[in-house]
Structure 1
Amino acid sequence: MRQIVLDTETTGLEPKQGHRIIEIGCVEMVNRRLTGNTYHQYINPEREVDQGAVEVHGITNEMLADKPTFREIAAEFMAFVDGAELVIHNAPFDTGFLNHELRRLRAEGGTDFGTIEAHCEVTDTLALARRMHPGQKNNLDALCKRYDINNSHRELHGALLDSEILADVYRAMTGGQKKLSLDGESDEGAGGGEQVAAIRRLPADRPRLKVVRASGAELEAHAGYLEAIDKASGGNCLWNRG
């Protein structure tokens, strides 16, 4: 399974007002493992960057003056993401800008790539976080704190840095138990697709263990707890599926 964790930075908040992408950052995961393969590009938006946006990401007009336009990097970018699942925090924002750039490219006589969704499945980690943690803050900083992800080096927004951080957050959100210690060794949990240390075989003459079964009251309490998890997660409690 190939996944691309993606983030963009832009000149402003609304493509309908002519705002454009100025940075794309992507990190690749295969079977939930970071491959070290990345895509990172600053882009000349052919317009001014709003001052409010500069205060968020620190990317100035001067920094972008000699960078390629989206038209010049579109084919390379689309080849990198083609066929992958895109993992994006607040995906409608980024896909909206990407589709705006693709429409603009087509209107200017460039390659007709269609929409980004025609090439990639899209997973929105913000929507996922809201289902998992209703009523709580679910921005990237809040999720880093919740899942003990170090983001102390994140002073400003940056597409590649935010993608790298989101990759760690996404794996923590979706991987179940993060660490499993067996025989003193620690590996990623099975939910993360990582290898787990082998369990030593017990001696054949070992006495049989006593089996203690749950009482009716305990089973009823357990079922109630699973129902609460199912409700809080929007019907995504795996243990409550027949």
Structure 2
Amino acid sequence: MLKIEHLNKSFGGVVATSDVSIHFKTESLSAVIGPNGAGKTTFFNLISGALRPDSGRILLDGEDIVGLPSSEIVHKGIGRAFQVAKLFKTLTVEESLRGALMSPLGKSSQMHGRFPLAQTRDRAYEVMEQLGLHTKADVISGNLSHGDQKLLDMALALVLKPKVLLLDEPVAGMGPEEREQMIQTVYALWKKGGLTVVLIEHDMEIVFRISQHIHVLSYGKVLAEGNAEQIRNNPAVIEAYLGKPAEVHA
């Protein structure tokens, strides 16, 4: 499905990603974790085309997508939701989703028409129902709660039917109730099938609870990989997060 091979990216003298190779299997639910500055967001930026790697390959179904514009990468099947939701703040929830659908068709001008394209309207409502946003179809996006804005950001990625969904800290800034709703939504989307989900998350309880596979980055390199139990008990991971035993004791 999605294979990352020997990916490298530096900014001046700062190495953000160093020889990273990860294979995300079809319809898997994986997490990418690591201390602050580990290179996690840069990793997502490279996959989604926001940044171009210095070297290495990013293979989606065997096709190298390095160098393609972000819009083309979306068309190929990679969707992304951001840590800070990127929304059309003056549009309603439904208008936002219809706009996302119509833009690749070159028909954005019809979005406010009296008779919107039936297929875009139907798909918008399908995704709103999936994410529990159907009762807020007419709410202006900028007036949504923080949690609902994050859900809408995810909906904007889902509406184009991606093969791979990248989620950058999906529960960031949420209260306990919103966090639980979001994580149940993410798990339900994956459980339904047909979608490979990769999330960046700092909340280890959530990561260990839902992830099939966990990949740990540290200083831009892959430090460890495994299931929740393997990562939880990995001495190198414990050291990366907490420091050496002597430092923790001090």
Structure in which a larger fraction of residues adopt strand:
2
Higher RCO (Cα < 8 Å, 6 or more apart): 2
Q: Is the TM value for this pair above 0.5? A: no
Task: State the TM-score, normalized to the length of structure 2.
Answer: 0.21
Task: State the TM-score, normalized to the length of structure 1.
Answer: 0.22
Q: Over alpha carbons, which structure has the higher Rg? A: 1
